[in-house]
Structures are given as C-alpha cells and as structure tokens.
Structure 1
Amino acid sequence: MLYPDNSADKLGFTEVKELIKAHCLSIMGQQMVDKIQVMNNYDNIRKFLNQANEFKNILQNDAALPIQHFYDIKSLANKARIEGAFLSEEEFYQVQASLTTVFAVIAYFNEREGQYPNLEALFEHLPIEKAILKKIDQVIDNKGKIRPNASRDLLDITTGIAKAEQDARKKIDQIFKNASANNWTADGSLTIRDGRLCIPLLAENKRKLKGFVHDESASGQTVYLEPEEVFTLNNRIRDLEFERRREIVRILTGLTDELRPYVPLLLSYHGLLTKLDFVRAKALFAIEVEGEMPEVVNDAHIKLVNARHPLLYLNFKKEQKTVVPLNVQIDDGTRVVVVSGPNAGGKSVCMKTVGLLQMMVQAGLLIPASETSVVGVFKQLFVDIGDDQSIESDLSTYSAHLSKMKHFVENANGKTLILIDEFGTGTDPQFGGPIAEAVLEALNHKKVRGMITTHYSNLKIFASNTDGLENASMLFNNVEMKPLYMLEVGKPGSSYAFEIAQKIGLPQNVLNLAKNKISVGQKKVDTLLVDLEREKKEIYDTRIKLEKQQRQVTNLLAENETLKSYLEENKKALMRDAKQQAQSIILNANKLVENTIAEIKSSNADKETTRNLRENLNVELKKNTVKTEPVKAAVVDEELKPGDWVKLTDSETTGQVIELIKDNVVIAIGDLRTVAKKKRVQKVSRSSVPKDIRKSLTSNTNDYANFSPEMDVRGMRTDEALQSIEKVLDRALMMSVNSIKIIHGKGDGILRKMIRDYLKKYDQVGRMEDEHPDRGGNGITYVYLK
C-alpha cells in the first residue's frame, strides 16, 4: 500500500498519531492508535470516519459522555481465568469502576437511540450483565476497600481486632502515665518501633518495667520498651490480623471463582472501552485542528477545499498566525498536477498537505478542510520526498530517486497516488530533465493520480502539452519579493531565482554575470512567466472588483423591486378602500332618497312640506359626500425629530425620519434611504402606518443604530476576515461613516498585508494608517473613506 516504508514519517502521519495518542485516557487506547493503518476498504473508511464525526458532535453539541475510568481489565480477566488465582482488592475495584463506566455509556446511547448509529454499533448485541457488578459491590466498597461485613467471620475478626487494639492502648496509656509519674520516662510521648507502640524510658530505668526493648536512641540514653502486658495483647492483635488476611483471601478467591464464567464478557467490555477511548482521542484531535468529515467516494479522486496542513496549522496557532488554505482538484481530467514556483514558496508543503490528508482520510481521521471536500480511495500511495541516500546500500541521492522511479513505473496504476518532490534533481539537469520527463510520460500512460514539484522547464512545457497533466504554480508577489503561499492551477510558475538572489543581497555584478550565462530562450520563458503572473494577478483583482460591484447592483435592483411591489400593493389597497367607501355612500344615499319619496307619497304633502323634506335630503347627502381636499404641505416650521413617521406630499410613500440636516430630511423607506425637503413631507401618526412597514423600518433603524465602525478579525482565516471587512465597509459607505478601525494583530504581518491589499481595490478608500505605537501600532489599521 505505502511505498517506501518510511512514507508515513515523510508526510508527517507518524507525528499526527503521536498527537492523537496524547488525547488517550488509557494505555489500551494508545496501543490502538499505534495500530492505525492506511486502509483501502471503502466501507471501513466510512465507518471509522462516521464514528469520529459522531463523537466530535457529542463533544461539541451534546451532554458529556460519562467516561471516567479506563483500566486494563483484559489483563485482569486473563488473570481471573486461571483456576486458583484471585484478584486483589485494587484489581476488583478496577473491574468495578470499568463496568460502571460501560453501563453508564450504554445507557447514554440508549437514551439517544438512533442519533449516533455508528457509535451504537460498537456495543450492538453486547449484553448488560449487572450481576457481575452486584457481586463485586457486596464485597468491595466505592473506595476500593473490602467491606468489613463481606462475611460473618470477617466481621467478627474485624471487631476482635478493634477491641484488642482498644485494650492495648488503654493498658499502655496507664503504664506510661505511672512511669511518667515516677520520672522513669525520657522526654517525648509514646512512639512506634518495629510496628509496636513503645514507651521511651531513660536507660537507667529500663529494669524498673517488665517488657521488651525494641530500640534505643543514638546516644544510648533512651530505650524504647514495650510493656509485657501490652506485648501479649499486641500478639493477639497480630494473630487476628493474620486471620483477617486469610479470610480476605478466601473471600476474594470465592469472588474470583464467581467472576470466572464472565471472563469472555469482560473481554468484550474491555474492547468497548478501548474503542471508545480511541474514537474519543480522534475526535479531540479533529476539534484541535478544526477537522471535518469530507465526502468520501470509492474512486481515485481528490477535491480539497480550504485545506490546511494539520501540523502547520497547530504550529501557526501557537504563534497566532493563519495558514493560507489550499484548493486543488485531481480527477480524470487533471490526473497529475505539476507544481512549480519560487523556492520557499510552499510547493513541498502543498504536496505534503495533499498526501497527509489523503492518508488521514484512509486511516479514518477527520481532516482540516471544508466538509464540501471530496476524497477518494487509493489502493497505493507512492512517495518520493527528501534525500534517501544510504552508505550501507551504496546509494547516492540520485540513485535512491531512480530506484523509487523504477518501482513507481513498474507497479503504479490508475488507483495509485504518487507524490514526488523536486522531480528530476540530483544529477546534471541536462540529463536529469529528460529522464524525469520520460518517467512522467510513463506514469501518465498508466493513468496514475498525484502531484509533483519541479523547477525544470521541460517538465512545465511537457505538462502544458499533455492530456492528463496540469501545470500549477505557487503565487509570488514580485513587487515585495514575498511568496503568497497560494496554489494557482492552470499555468507554470517562475522560480524567481534572480529576484530572490537580488533580495538576499547577492552582488549585482555576480547577478549580471549569471544572467549572461543563461540562454536567450530561457530568459524569454522566465520573463514571460513573470509577466503572465503579474497580468493574472491584475485580472484577478479586477474580477473581484467587478463581482463586488455586480453584487451591489443586484442588491439595489432587489430593493427597488421590493419597494415597487410595496407601492403597487399600497395603491391597490387604497383603491379598494375608496371603492368600498363609495359603495357605502351610494347605498346610504339611495336609501335616504327612497325614504323621502315614500314620505311624500304617503302624506300627500303640500309644497312647503315637500320643500322641507328636500332640504333635509340635501343636508344628509352633503354629510355623506367624500371631501377631496388637497393635501396640505407640511408647515416648514413644524417640529420634526428623528424617529417621526412622515409621508411625502406628492405620493403615498411613508417612511421614518433618520436625520435632519438644515432644510433637508433623511428618510428611511424600507431598505432605502432618501433625502427630501421639509416642505415636501407631512408628519403622520405612528398608528396610521401599516404594522409590516413599522416593523421593517424599526429593525433597519436599530441595525444602523447598533452599527460599530470597529471590528476584530484576530484568529480568523484570511477569507473569513475579508468577508467580514467587506460587510462592515458596505454599511460604512451606506451610512457615510468617515473611517473604520480593523484590529488584526501583528504576527508576521501576513493578515495585515492581505487586508490592506484587499482594501486598495476600493476607490472609496482614501488612505490607511497604523494605530499609535502606544495603542497597538501596526496591529491595528485605520481605514479613511473618501
């Protein structure tokens, strides 16, 4: 599967395993981590990945799993298997604690049945035999000590020991008191010698008490004597303790005999605890490196999105720096990526990231990459990194490389992932380049997948003209002479040898001499690569600017459509209300006319009565006539203040006052802001404004009130920081804020540079300055807007 055998060391996989071991709670879990291997079985890979992902979800989003004790109960079970053997109190306590943990874990998952199916499979069909725990609890207490009442005989013996110790203490206290009264004792109190309680006597008085001398002081002036009466009692205590020890052995032997039939089950419980410790360690490591579960496919395919090298990520995290994410795809169309670019530009790290993350996935480990990444399964992983020269094997550096190339060409296939660093180096470039090109052509015919790094121009040209191969380069800022550590697929990169040498300070005359020694064609190729990279960067910047402008136009169009829809709906509602009111007026008028006619006919009224009825009719009709008085313009002197609701006099548009500027009023209408003269607006009551409009405008107004022109992007990845800054910048421009403050930290200045380069693209940005050295210096950037 892996070639050569030290591939795991070369790619950093061994170091990853050591970091995972540090999270284990038991030796058994650590031993299981040591056994992690790169697999090629698709189902097993998915199972292990899902287990780690589910445990990660528990650690981040669920109640803590009741894992408290991990002991090696496998060795204890094997010991109990032997006839006549017995477990000690401490060993039974370990079994007791481990079984308590097992049953608590099973109960935890039973409460969440179906939520973590891959972890539940670890104890599927595993019986819960609480009789074992009950038997142990009857003998061993929760501190790991045998219970005094574990048997009737043990209780009697324990009681006898306590009584004898009490009698012995009383007796020796009495003798000591009498000896002290007679001034026979030396300075001090009762003391222990050879495990016996003794009285310190002056040497000249040792004959005055019957007993046994156990010791004397260094000067010989004090002897330590155990009185004869107490000696007999202490012997009785010792005999009882021997009896107690024999009884404990008998009890433990009997308990072990009862435990023996359950040995296979104990081994199963041990396996569950070991697997839980193992999966827990993998999940904790995933959280530490921000690992996610990618989509896994049973095909030779890789698509890494925002991937980071886990070891580099952890190192940078300590230094509060960010890793530039890697985006690369290897599939049927782009089988081998040929990476070129400047020295120290990140080519090797890029290739090692691909190799290490592939190994991690096929070992069932979550990887620091977006969950939208897609990772396939490879049957073989061939690696050629570093110098494997060997004095014992009589291999030079180039011979070691060639022996690997021989193995690659003979054994690689379409399910092989190859990783070759500095392809073709180690010999004369005039011959090493063609040999490397021939090997690459042979590997391409075998449809292998992989990534190689090189400085050879013939390999770059070969990749650009060959199906299945794709050039890629590590971006380089040729103005500041700094690598950007970003992989760009689609074109080769220059090595920037002369530019880097010039920056380091190599004398100009030496550089000129070197330039004269290379061919004209090579000069043109390298210059062309540099120019292409510069033009590509300019095109990229322009595209980003156009995309931003397009987003702004799209937002404005959406806001316009929303406002238009609102106005149309408002117009329809007004027309509907007017028609209903007109119909009501007409209906009432008709009824009045009919009633008047009926009265005239029924009363045969004279002219005077008829005239009075007509006058009453006219009065009632005037009352019900809709008055269409023109809307009066707001008085210029009318008091308006922010928060008031107003209506434009020449339309039915309603909004809320945001700000007053001399004779102008800034009004919020939906998501839009407009400026109108005071004489063109009329103040209206809040209750007359529809609730949906009030709610929308109040929410937007609060958003603007809560806006802060200061933001902290420390700890964010570069893309996250730039997205956050773009949002704040958009709102600042909309609100006409003069400046914003960005706190990005110092570190190596990478994040600061990326932010400033990004902001330079905006025409609205006037200038950028560092904070005062006493208040953060170049860890803070002030952005002043035009």
Structure 2
Amino acid sequence: MKPLLHELEFDRVLTLIATEAKSTLGKDAVSRRRPLSTLTACEGAQADLADMRRFVHTEGLLPLAGLTDVAPLLARETVLELEESWVIVRAIRSTQAMRETLTRIDRFPRLKTIAEAIPELDELVGKLNKFFTRDGKLREDASSELRSIRQKVQQKRNAVQRLLNDVMNRNSEAIQEPLIVLRGDRYCVPVRADHRNSIPGILHERSGSGASVFIEPMQAIELNNDLADLLLQEREEIARITRFISQLIVDAADDVLLATRTSGELDALQACAIFADSVNASRPSFNDDRRLHLIDARHPLLDERVQTTDQPVVPVTVELNGAMPALIISGPNAGGKTIALKTTGLLVAMAMSGLPLPAADGSMIPIVDAIHVLVGDDQSVLEHLSTFSAYLVRLKNVIARATKRSLVLLDELGSGTDPEEGAALAAAVIEYFLDRGALLIVTTHLSSVKSFAMNDSRVVNASMEFDSATGQPTYRLISGIPGRSRALEVAQIIGLPSPILARARERLGTRYVEVDQLVSMLQNKMSNVLEQSAELEKRQAAVEEERQAME
C-alpha cells in the first residue's frame, strides 16, 4: 500500500508528526506507521493514542532524556569506548525511567502494558553506575586497582615537582622562568639557551623563539620513569575496565535493544498525542460493514494550526455506506475536489495507522484492505504513453486489485479524451466498482457522469461550492447536488474577451443555461440550509452550556 499512500502525501504527514518526537528512535517509529489490517488492531492503536493523550494532559511528558538508537553501537564487533558505553548507559536509564513512570500508575492500563514490555534492567544500571560520574567520566574509584594507581601517580608527581623546584632554586640564573612543564609526559624545566650546560639532563625540545630549551634534569629521570610506568599501568587498567563495561553491555544487548525500541514506540505515541492536540483530533470508531463518515474532516497539511498560514482550512463531511457506496464530486477548477478526495483517503489511512484523526467527534472509519488512488498526470515519455493512456494503465491495475473491502479514489475519471467517450467509460467504471462492492469517490467535470449519478440510488452527487459574488470557490463540499464547472465564469474573471464568452454561451444554448441556472439555485438553497443548520447547532450548544451551568 506504500506507493498508493505516497499519492495521498501520507509520508509528508508522518514527517510532520515525527517532528514532535524527541529521539531518532521515536521519529523512526512514526515513519514506520502504516494502516493496520483488522478492526481489533485499529481500535487498539487508537486506544493507545487516547491513553497517551490523557497521560500527557495529566502527568506531562515522558522522561525521554538520553534515549537514542544504540543498535549501531551494539552491532559492532569491537570493544565499546567509554564515551560509547556512556551513551548506552544514558539510553538504558531513560528506558528504565519510562518503565517506572508508566508501570506505577494504574490509570493508563494500555501504556502500562506497553511499558511492561521494556525489560527490567535496574541491576545492570546499578553495576554500570559504579563506573561513571554524573557527566559520564570514569570514576576515580572505578576499581580498587585504579584508585591505588592514581594515588601513586599523584604521589610520584608531587615528588617530581618538589625535586624540579629544588633544581630551579639552586640554578635560578640558568632558568628562563620558574615553571615546570610537560614534554611528552616527562616533567622538564625551561633553561636559557645560553646556559644549556648548566643543568645536566636530557634536552626534549627547544622553544619557538629559540631562547629556551626544555631539559629533564638527570636527578628527575628515574622519578619520571616511575611516573611513566604508573601512567602506563593506569592506561592498562582503564582499558581493562573499558572492556569489562563493554562486556556487561554486550551481554545484555538483546534486552537493551528491546528496551530502547519499545521506548522509541512510546516516544512515537507521545508525538502522535502532541500532534493530536495541535489539530484538535478526535477518536474515530471503526467498522467492518463499509460505513465511512468523516465529519468536518481537515487535511492536516493545510491546517492553519500546523502550517504558517492565516487562511483557515475548510472542513469537509463525507459519508458512504453499503447502500450508497459511491460519491461523485463535481465543481469548478481549483475548487477543492481533489483535496476533498485526497483528504478522505488520507484520513482513513491515518486512522487505521493509529494516527490522530483531524475530524469531529462521531467520525466512523471502515476497515479497508487497500486504498487505491489515481490522482494527477502520470504521462510516460519513455513508454510512449499519453496522459490518458497512462491513466488507463493505472486504472487497469486498480480494477485488477480492488476488492469489496477497498476504498477507490479516482480523480478526473474520464477526462483527457473525447468527452462523450470519456463519460461513457467513466460511467462503466463506476458501475463496475459498484457491482464489486468497493467504496468509491470520483471527481469529474463531465455532465453525463453527473447525470448518471442522479439516476443511480447507490451514488451520491456532491459539489464544491462557488461564491458567485466574489468569483471564488469557498471549498465547501455540499452533498446531494451536482456541481457546476463554471468554465465561463472563470474565463470571465481571468479576462478572456467578451465576444468569445458571448459566443460560447450561444453555443451552449438556452436549455443548458436554464439547467445551469437551476443547479445554481439549488446550490444556493443548499448553502443556506447548511448555514442555518450550523447556526442552529451553535445555539443548541449554547443553550446546553447554560443549562449545565444552572444545574
């Protein structure tokens, strides 16, 4: 279903939701979301989302600090460096914090069930904590041997520094500056170049100016050797500890990976919950009897609460069922037909994937086995196919694959060829899918297809509203009547010459004009009815609020 979902811009919605995830694991988990196949699975995914929304509202956000994808580190066959082990330790701590947070609260049973799948790694965390400071450095007492070596190192450094201070005090005229410097892990003193022979020892380096040489006095050589030996022992002990820590983690790799993956799913679920609030999403119900009812559905990529735009998205309401499984949408160019079609398919896919549904309460989603989409120009130059031929090739694939449990979305069916032949083909295709039992939404400009819809009780006509006063579409979907393409009105607004428009109206004839005017009148009346209905609902809601306030 993935290529078909791409035409609905499902991947762009996933990318948008993934921005709310705090970890790469969460973002990846969001990107893997796909429609589930059964009613039980879809209801369960939406129940998980509802539980997470309640958790975020009452408890706040999950403790996700430190959670990261550790799989690449654990997939290597080399010893983990201390910095890499620290990254894993922080990730494990995060998983355990989430497990503790969600399992101790009984008010969110679904989240608790998910969190219980995170392996309990407290014992491992306890062992690893003994090796690291709060900022991820190796503790001084990571092992008794390391502590002993570092104490000896400090004692030996003090001894070397006392000796070198004594050398400098006794040879002050030869010393450039009374400073002890390190050169290659060896403590030295800066001697004036013209007094180089005043202090016997090993010359390690010359200053950039050439005024000083850095000499390790003969008296300090043995002490420096002892210190170098201790530092070598320290590095060997750190390497041993590093291997030990790495082995502790590798031995628990399976549990660590399961813990981080499960925590990533929780991060993804929280991202969905945050996005749900931003688009005022609702929880849909699901059914296996082909009932689709999207109430005030909004395309998430157009929602002004998500995108940087001042233009509010106009919601659409779409209803299909077993008795009326097909919807034919007509109306002006750029009036929103394709957006309504794609919004329907996208929201069905989102709901079945456990994603937030940007629609009003009461929306119902059918469980479909596939969403077949034909949208846009798929002309193929390489295969020598015209736009119409390419469309037919894609249509043939849909016809072969669609079942009675499919949702089929066909944009501009029958266009791109002779209108009469295109309309006849479109009507035959619609009849085929009606007989097959699939749910179907078609957009069209063809009058014969609109007429066909009016004569078949299984098909509902719908139109995209157009404001004649402003000459602009309102993007509102009106069910029950066909739409007018308004080609002449659009041409007039754009500024085509009046004689051409007048001649076009003559060619249409008086009968067409009368029918067009009748459709326009019906649309206006239906718009008024919808506006009055919406106003009545607002008043009823206000009365109900007042009644509840008085009780």
Same fold (TM over 0.5): yes
Q: Distance in 2 between matches of 1:95 and 1:544?
A: 56
Opposite residue 507 of structure 1, the aligned amino acid is P
Structure 1 residues 490 and 164: CA distance shift in structure 2, 3 A = same
Equivalent in 282, 302, 317 of residue 292 of structure 1: 282
**1:255 Cα shift?**
4.6
Instruction: Work out whether residues 92 and 144 of structure 1, in 8 Å CA contact, stay in contact via their aligned partners in 2.
Output: no
- Matches for 1:163-312 after TM superposition, within 5 Å: 163-176=155-168, 181-182=172-173, 184-185=175-176, 192-194=182-184, 196=186, 198-257=188-247, 262-312=252-302
CA distance in 2, matches of 1:72, 1:540: 51
Where 1:471 maps in the other structure, the secondary structure is: strand
Deviation at 1:41, TM superposition (A): 2.1
Cα contact 1:292–1:367 (8 A) shared by 2: yes
3-state SS, counterpart of residue 260 of structure 2: helix
Q: Residue type matched to 1:51 in 2?
A: D
Answer yes or no: is the 8 Å Cα contact 1:78–1:263 preserved in 2: no
- CA deviations over 1:551-584 (Å, ceiling 9, x no partner): 99x99xx99xxxxxxxxxxxxxxxxxxxxxxxxx
Question: Quick one: distance in 2 between partners of 1:30 and 1:549?
Answer: 43
Q: Does 1:27 align with 2:24?
A: yes
Q: Say if 2:42 is the partner of 1:42.
A: no
Q: CA deviation at 1:183?
A: 6.0
- The letter of the residue matching 1:185 is Q
- Residue in 2 that maps onto 1:102: 95
Partner residue, 1:59: 56
Tell me how far apart the structure 1 counterparts of residues 526 and 18 of structure 2 sit (CA, whole Å): 45
Distance 1:147 1:531, change over 3 A: same
Quick check: 435-444 or 458-467, which moved more?
435-444
Q: Is 1:390 aligned to residue 380 of structure 2?
A: yes
Distance 1:160 1:378 in 2: 73
CA distance in 2 between partners of 1:105 and 1:112 (Å): 11
Question: What letter corresponds to residue 353 of structure 1 in structure 2?
Answer: T
Q: Kindly tell me: are residues 174 and 374 of structure 1, through their superposed partners in 2, closer, same or farther at Cα, counting changes over 3 Å?
A: farther
Q: What SS does structure 2 have at the residue aligned with 1:491?
A: coil
Q: How far apart in 2 are the matches of 1:58 and 1:316?
A: 22
> How far apart are 1:74 and its partner, in Å?
4.1
Q: CA-to-partner distance for each residue in 1:508-533, whole Å, 9 max, x for gaps?
A: 12211322333444333323222322
Q: CA offset at residue 397 of structure 1?
A: 0.9
TM-score, normalisation: structure 2: 0.90
Moved over 6 A (4+): 542-552
Per-residue displacement from partner, 1:29-78 (whole Å, max 9, x unpaired)? 33333322222222222222222222222222224432322133445555
Alignment check: 8 A CA contact 2:5 2:371 kept: no
Distance in structure 1 (CA, Å) of the matches to 2:71 and 2:41: 25
Q: Deviations over 1:69-109 (max 9, x none)?
A: 21334455556xx7xx6443334333433333233222222
2-side partners of 1:315 and 1:423: how far apart? 33
Contact 1:92 1:136 in 2 (8 A): no
Superposed displacement of residue 271, structure 1: 3.0
Aligned partners of 2:535 and 2:200: how far apart in 1? 106
Q: Which amino acid aligns with 1:106?
A: R
Distance 2:139 2:482 in 1: 77
Amino acid at match of 2:56: L
Number of the residue aligned with 1:7: 4
Aligned residue number for residue 161 of structure 1 = 153
SS in 2 for 1:378: coil
1:70 touches 1:98 (CA, 8 Å); kept in 2? Answer: yes
Paired with 1:108 and 1:102, the residues of 2 have a C-alpha distance of 10
Cα displacement (A) at 1:175:
4.0
User: Match of 1:493, SS?
Assistant: coil
Separation (CA, whole Å) in 2 of partners of 1:189 and 1:473 = 89
> Does 1:346 find its partner at 2:336?
yes
Would you say how many aligned residue pairs link Structure 1 and Structure 2? 549
Aligned-residue Cα RMSD (Å) equals 3.2
Q: Deviations over 1:645-685 (max 9, x none)?
A: xxxxxxxxxxxxxxxxxxxxxxxxxx9xxxxxxxxxxxxxx
Match of 1:90 among 61, 83, 86: 83
Code of the residue aligned with 2:137 in structure 1: it is: K
Q: Which amino acid aligns with 2:321?
A: D
Tell me the SS of whatever aligns to 2:380: coil
Counterparts of 1:411-490 in structure 2 under 5 Å? 411-490=401-480
Alignment deviations for residues 221-242 of structure 1 (CA, whole Å, 9 cap, x no partner): 4434444444543333232122
1:211 and 1:226 in contact (8 A); partners too: yes
The answer to whether structure 1 residue 404 and structure 2 residue 404 are counterparts is no
Aligned counterparts of 1:17 and 1:548: Cα–Cα separation in 2: 34
CA distance in 2, matches of 1:332, 1:474: 24
**Distance verdict in 2 for CA 1:24–1:428, change over 3 Å:** same
CA distance in 2, matches of 1:53, 1:340: 36
Give the 3-state SS of the residue equivalent to 1:334 in structure 2: coil
1:532 to 522, 527, 543: 522
Check whether the contact 2:200–2:218 (CA below 8 A) recurs between aligned residues: yes
User: Quick one: which amino acid aligns to residue 21 of structure 1?
Assistant: A
For 2:306 and 2:101, the matched residues in 1 are separated by 37
Letter in 2 for 1:89: L
> Contact conserved, 2:92 with 2:260, CA < 8 A, in 1?
no
Say whether residues 1:116 and 2:113 are aligned partners. Answer: no
Tell me the SS of whatever aligns to 2:303. Answer: helix
Cα 1:168/1:297, change in 2 over 3 Å: farther
* In 2: Cα distance, 1:397 partner to 1:349 partner: 21
> CA, structure 1 residues 317+435, in 2 after alignment: closer, same or farther (shift >3 Å)?
same
Show the counterpart of 2:139. Answer: 147
Q: Percent identity?
A: 29
**Shift in Å, 1:161:** 1.1
CA 223–437 in structure 1, closer or farther in 2 if over 3 Å, else same:
same
Output the CA distance in 2 between the equivalents of 1:542 and 1:360.
32
Deviations 1:94-136 (A, max 9, x none): 34333332332222223312x2222222244665342222222
Unaligned runs of 5+ in 1: 560-670, 672-695, 700-786
2: CA distance between counterparts of 1:46 and 1:340? 34
Provide the rounded CA distance (Å) in 1 between the counterparts of 2:282 and 2:528. 34
Aligned to 1:68: 65
Partner of 1:323: 313
Kept in 1: contact 2:37–2:369 (CA 8 A): yes
Q: 1:291 to 1:167 in 2, by over 3 A?
A: farther
Within 1, Cα distance between the matches of 2:428 and 2:296? 33
Q: Secondary structure at the match of 2:442?
A: strand
Task: State which drifts further: 59-68 or 479-488.
Answer: 59-68
State the structure with bigger RCO (CA 8 A, min sep 6), 1 or 2. 2
Which SS does the other structure have where 2:429 is aligned? helix
Task: Provide the TM-score with structure 1 as the length reference.
Answer: 0.64
Q: 1:330-386 deviations in whole A, cap 9, x for unaligned? A: 112321111111112111111111111111112121111123211111012110001
